[in-house]
Structure 1
Amino acid sequence: MPQKTNIFPLSLTGTISKPVTRSALSSSQSDDILKAIAKLESSHQQLLKLNQQTSAQQSAQFEELKSNLGNISTQISDLKAENSNLRAELTALKSKIHLLESTPNTSSPQPPLLELIQELSERDKCSSNVIAYGFTESTSRTPQERIADDTKSVSDVFSNLSFKFPTDAKLFRLGKNVNNTPRPLKIILNSFCLCLVKLERVMLIFPPGIKFVRDKSKLERKLLRQLHEELDHRKQNGEINLSINYINGIPQIISSFSKNHTRGRLSHTSQLAA
């Protein structure tokens, strides 16, 4: 008979070792599984902790973003309100600019020294001149005859006032003849005092339609035009009892109330110049 082979291994000592049983293998695998489960649970806990940290950070960022959005919304509201105020101020400034542009400006900057000297020189020349209105123009053919006729007309007015018109006075018409309206007559006298005397007598008693005023420089005429434009503008806006009067030699627009209170300051020369 064949010899049976011993399936149990021999130990080094010659003894037979026990075979690996099913229960021993299951215990080893269970330990590995438990270790794997513990490792997975640890990883899960780490992931959960990381997720919680991330969620907390996101919540904090969301709250910060929400707060920033609230601040931005408040700032937008403030900007809208400020923009509305700026628009209102801009509209008011435009209205003021339009009013300033539409209103004649009677104030002028201080003139340079040269212009001031020229103005003083021109006023000195005008101080002995008189502008006469209302004298019918001569129909004579030659300039000499027309000047002679004008001289006679003016002399007759002075003669009626018992005042002899000076023979050295010069007369000539101003401007162009339009619509057969008599042009102003400029009378050049030889002194300022004589001019005042003649103005005083003629201004006190003068024939109907005849008017004498003192001559004015270009700057004075410009100022008067501006004052008349301003006067018309203010009257159109509803202001009443306004007029142009000379106060201390300077033309100004005053009301009837102001006129009564400043009448005492009107100089004799200013009254004649008006």
Structure 2
Amino acid sequence: MNPISPKTQVMTRSASSNSSKNHKTLSTPVTSEEILKAIADLKSIQSDTLTQCKANAKNLDTLISQISELKSENITLKNDISALNTRIANLEKNNPGSSHDSVSQLMFELSEREKCSSNLIAFGVPESNAPELGNRISEDLKNLSELISSVGISAPPDIKVIRLGRRNDHSSRPLKIFLKNKLAAVEFLKLFNTASKRSPNNQVLKLVRDKTLREREQLRSCHSELDRRTKSGEADLTISYLNGVPTVLKRKSKNGSHFLQTKHRT
């Protein structure tokens, strides 16, 4: 028998040992619990994937619906623009100079309304008799704040005021209130009207939004028409705004009773 060298013996033992380890690893059985867990994990992944697909499908339906609405709105806008272009073309054809004047007047009115949008007009604020302008303004602010506080709210911060028209001995002039922006004016007017209706204390102060000269002329014309038609025997008439234009209409009936919103002549 041929003798085996020490080196060969070491290599034989190592190979035998590795073969034994590999055989042990491959022969380890997979338990039923592990199989069930793997199946449960797959089901969970499938369920999550299905839920995500359904959510994506719902979002897609919503997106398709919004696109359809936008297309419909675009068609309507195109039709409106086409109709306006036709009207403008007819106006320019029949009255070459009037179209430019109308556009200029419209732009001026829009600019004036933007300036008025951050202002309010107060009626019923006692007028100061102080000789100095600064003192009169301070007293007007104080009187205004007290009347506003009487309905349970506070006056807006950092407001400025100025009296409108010529001074007279019979009544206090309207007080124009300058707020910081349009949103502040709209929100405070809404807040005051709500508080004023709930409070029995306010019998004097009235607030309305500021109006341009054209708006005041339209409103005065409506009041004149209202007076004339009332004197002629027509009943249940009121002034309502249609598309921003004051119009004399029959009062609407709500639950069998009539209601009327008070409007000021300015």
- Superposition TM-score, scaled by structure 1 size: 0.52
For 2:241 and 2:157, the matched residues in 1 are separated by 32
Q: Distance in 2 between matches of 1:221 and 1:154?
A: 24
Match for residue 134 of structure 1? 124
Once the two structures are TM-superposed, the CA of residue 163 in structure 1 deviates from its matched residue by: 3.9
Deviates more, 1:145-154 or 1:240-249: 240-249
- For 1:168-247, list aligned pairs within 5 A: 168-206=158-196, 207-247=202-242
State the 1:168 CA deviation: 2.4
* Structure 2 counterpart of 1:116: 106
Q: Work out which of the residue numbers 229, 246, 261 in structure 2 matches 1:251.
A: 246
Sequence identity, in percent? 38
Matches of 1:225 and 1:147, distance apart in 2: 29
Contact 1:128 1:191 in 2 (8 A): yes
The amino acid across from 1:237 in the alignment is: S
> Equivalents in 1 of 2:154, 2:227: separation in Å?
40
Q: Which residue of 2 aligns with 1:154?
A: 144
Specify the code of the residue in structure 2 equivalent to 1:214.
Answer: R
Question: In the aligned structure 2, how far is the partner of 1:272 from the partner of 1:192?
Answer: 23
Q: Which runs of 5+ in 1 are unaligned?
A: 1-108, 262-270
| AA matched with 2:102 | P
Runs of 4+ aligned residues of structure 1 deviating over 6 Å after TM superposition are: 271-274
Shift of 1:194: 0.8
Q: Secondary structure at the match of 1:212?
A: strand
8 Å CA contact retained: 2:145, 2:154:
yes
Q: Deviations over 1:191-225 (max 9, x none)?
A: 11111121112222331021000000011001011
* Residues 1:213 and 1:228: Cα distance change in structure 2 (over 3 Å): same
Where structure 2 has 5 or more consecutive residues not aligned to the other structure, the ranges are 1-97, 197-201, 255-260
| Shift, 1:165, TM fit | 2.6
Q: How many matched pairs?
A: 155
Q: Distance in 1 between matches of 2:187 and 2:225?
A: 32
Please report the RMSD computed on the Cα atoms of aligned residues, expressed in angstroms.
2.4
User: Higher mean Cα deviation, 210-219 or 149-158?
Assistant: 149-158
User: CA–CA distance in 2 between the matches of 1:178 and 1:126?
Assistant: 25
In structure 2, C-alpha distance between the alignment counterparts of 1:167 and 1:152, rounded to whole Å: 13
**Distance in 1 (alpha carbons) for counterparts of 2:128 and 2:203:** 19
- 2:223 and 2:153 map into 1 onto residues whose CA distance is 34
TM-superposition CA deviations, 1:225-250 (whole Å, max 9, x none): 11111111111221111111223432
**Mapped partners of 2:230, 2:151: distance in 1:** 38
Distance 1:152 1:196 in 2: 22
1:69-80 alignment to 2 at 5 Å?
none
